[in-house]
A and B are shown apart, each in its own frame.
Chain A
């Protein structure tokens, strides 16, 4: 077990450097004129362009720039953004609210999806199953750019149940509406996967055995069926956590949450390489760790799986 984790951690180091290198290379390829991108439509004086170009090594070749960046990174310095802010400060501002939002969203989504999935898996083709099928299809069809502003307008402005925007130091309450919107992105898939896994496992031999030896229905469903059905769901939830942290650009924009998605968007539009790579490096770590946790959970859910 420990050897397995150790091996995975060593692999992570390689993956981490590979990923940052690729992202840095992509940002470099995308970089056209970051000094002008920062100024927008305004003209830039030659001397200012010259100073900024030198300060951020923008005129140097790719490998040289990457070396400067890695040297900083290995000493724990993420560098500064083109507006002169320390990227480590920006991350300290952005990550907490994004993590809160993503966790809240995933908890809401998983709770709804697993509960409803189990019920509709048991009562296949019943009313509940059909209603959830239609509902999830509707939510799947609504793109987030429609869903998020609509939710803000209806529940935030017209009904006034939730604050329309959250902000950086948002309370859990203010984050609830954005989290529900964000969670609805993944709830449909998770629900369908749970439902089909439950439906399939209900026909499995060990369920028949459990029933035959006289276990209560609750115990058969709750322990034997559910535990085995959770394997594909856990995989999905693990991937979704990472996706929700990196992919919340629209939701964060609509509810005015200056989190990771917003910073990535800002970094890409202003061609700010170090800013994007800094955030992506942390995202890479999040994905890697979550994947490790998911793999360990497999062993917990299914005793047949063992890591040596």
Chain B
């Protein structure tokens, strides 16, 4: 009988352990998925508050819950949707008139106040909203920011900002408000198409300027779909059609945004028919995709732009001929074909082809592959005998950096090393510390379809993503003149002149433009993926009989 007691003990302990660990049954879930809804794969969004959403997945989900002021037509021109009209005489004071009759999903009517409150919330610095920079052109934005008196490291906390509301936002009546900018900007109408400019209902706030707890898990919007249940983190977000929606009606009754951590897992589900749309087929599956999907594998342009920058503090690249020679030594065509299997296209301009004002090959002869001329120019300019290219290894960059290195070695007869840093932030830290990083890998996705969305952040002296420190007074002036121009046409003219300066200076080497390579199941039709890598939820429809 000696053995009996320990058995009981062990079994009891094991049982308690399992209970304590929360071994719940679970798994008693929905099979009542309505047949007329589609399943679209995304990654877990970081946030679902319009002013805090800056990545594609969150932006995609919000696009189904909210109705934007403007959307973009085939020519990438902004056209009014939730707005009746958006007008301005001087490009400084913009009057937004809303279409009447729209309501939020909780029944509240959509008024000018909803826009003003939402934007004030987004711009107020202590709320820490990721999209706050979108409001920076509005008059009074600086008063909503706070400067830490002794810098980030110091013990003192930043004081509260001077103001809580933007002076540039004024309500005229329930369906009209004005937006005053701190400086005239011809492209403002296009900027308002971004999700930071969605309205928020009164119910979103528990007190003025305080977002209600839990709002993010079940956002209430003014769009064609409303939340069905809550945001099931890391699992799915379900939306169903909102019956009282007055705008363009979508063709499906619901969307399940299914969350994937792994793009290849999503692809497996696409082939097996468990997901209807995948907006980006992973490179690893691309070779077999045309066989798996046939004509359900499609391509469309998007706004992403891949390039390498020359940090200006590195002496060896200060001669522009060195930069030009390196650019000419690169065979972009070979790179996109061999490594990206044509999922990206060669870039020979400084702005993406998706914006109006883009000119093919604005970079000129310096982006044409010519190894002989490159070598000659490089030797004459006294380029360094070793080139480094720094990239972050948590993205798929090693293959093409190595290929580019091989091209440089072959063409210029130099030694070239690809240096991997674990994360993008590690690379930035080294750049800030002015370490000899060599060329740095960078990429950009536009915020609104204007040339300025590339030129401003990437190449202006104060640009938010100008990590290499390029600074040209002539460029900055032309950019500012373009932004202040009276008409979009005039603006484009100035911006193109600014781009010509870039072609001369070569502060960066354009490499590739991105494409959406997307696939869909045979249940759905009319699938299109836009410049922002979002599925057009108004066009997608189910195939009858499937």
Contact = CB atoms under 8 A, between A and B. Distances in A.
12 contacts: A33-B429, A48-B128, A99-B23, A103-B23, A152-B268, A157-B272, A168-B234, A253-B261, A255-B265, A286-B21, A293-B14, A300-B6
Interface string A142-174: 000000010011001100100111011111100
Interface string A232-256: 0000000000000000000011111
A258 B47 contact: no
Interface in B184-221: 216
A90 interface: yes
A258 B268 contact: no
A258 B429 CA distance: 31
A44 B152 CA distance: 14
B46 A47 contact: no
Which of the four size classes fits the interface of chain A?
A: 35 or more
A7 interface: no
A30 to B, nearest CB: 10
B294 interface: no
Contacts of B268: 152-153, 156-157, 164-165
Contact of B234 (A95, A258, A299): A258
Nearest to B126: A51
Contacts of A54: 157-158
A99 B21 contact: yes
B56 to A, nearest CB: 11
Interface in B248-272: 258-262, 264-266, 268-269, 271-272
B396 interface: no
Interface stretch (A35-43, A111-119, A210-218): A35-43
Q: Lowest 6 A-B CB distances belong to which pairs?
A: A258-B234, A51-B128, A36-B425, A299-B6, A43-B464, A168-B235
Contacts, number: 180
B130 A48 contact: yes
Contacts of B44: 258
A237 to B, nearest CB: 12
Interface string B266-286: 101101101000000000000
A297 interface: yes
A300 B3 contact: yes
Interface residues of B, number: 70
B545 interface: no
Given A95-B21, A254-B264, A256-B265, 11 more contacts: A32-B429, A37-B424, A43-B465, A51-B128, A96-B26, A157-B272, A254-B265, A269-B394, A269-B423, A292-B13, A300-B6
A96 B265 contact: no
Interface in B24-55: 24, 26-27, 29, 44, 46-47, 54-55
Interface in B213-235: 216, 232-235
Interface of A: 1, 5, 32-33, 36-45, 47-55, 59, 83-85, 89-90, 92-97, 99-100, 103, 149, 152-153, 156-157, 160, 163-165, 167-172, 252-256, 258, 262, 269, 286, 289-290, 292-293, 296-297, 299-300, 303
Given A96-B23, A253-B261, A300-B7, A157 B271 contact: yes
B313 interface: no
B425 A253 contact: no
A95 B22 contact: yes
Nearest to B54: A42
Contact of B27 (A36, A92, A152, A172): A172
A286 to B, nearest CB: 6
B267 to A, nearest CB: 9
Contact of B443 (A41, A149, A170, A292): A41
Contacts of A103: 23
B233 A55 contact: no
Interface string B109-147: 000000000000000011111101100000000000110
Contacts of A43: 457, 464-465
A250 B317 CA distance: 42
Contact of B146 (A47, A153, A168, A303): A47
A258 B261 CA distance: 8
Nearest to A98: B21
Interface in B81-130: 125-130
A45 B132 contact: yes
A45 B133 contact: yes
Contact of A262 (B24, B47, B234): B234
A249 B46 CA distance: 21
B152 A53 contact: yes
B22 A49 contact: no
Contacts of A51: 125-128
B272 A160 contact: yes
Interface string B144-167: 011010001100011000000000
Name the residue among B18, B26, B429 with the largest chain A CB count within 10 angstroms: B26
A289 B262 contact: no
Name the residue among A47, A53, A167, A292 with the largest chain B CB count within 10 angstroms: A47
A222 B14 CA distance: 23
A55 B128 contact: yes
B261 A1 contact: no
A36 B428 contact: yes
A149 B3 contact: no
Contacts of A253: 261-262, 265
B75 interface: no
B426 interface: yes
Given A95-B21, A96-B22, A172-B27, A256 B260 contact: yes
Contacts of B55: 40, 42
B546 interface: no
A171 B47 contact: no
A41 B304 CA distance: 12
B429 A256 contact: no
Given A83-B46, A95-B21, A170-B27, A289 B272 contact: no
B132 A48 contact: yes
A234 B380 CA distance: 73
A296 B27 contact: no
B17 A47 contact: no
B233 A93 contact: yes
Contacts of A262: 234, 261
Contacts of A37: 423-425
Contacts of B157: 54
B10 interface: yes
A122 to B, nearest CB: 24
Contacts of A167: 235-236, 258
Contacts of B274: 163-165
B315 interface: no
Nearest to A30: B422
Contacts of A1: 5-6, 9
Nearest to B22: A95
Nearest to B424: A41
Nearest to A51: B128
Nearest to B466: A43
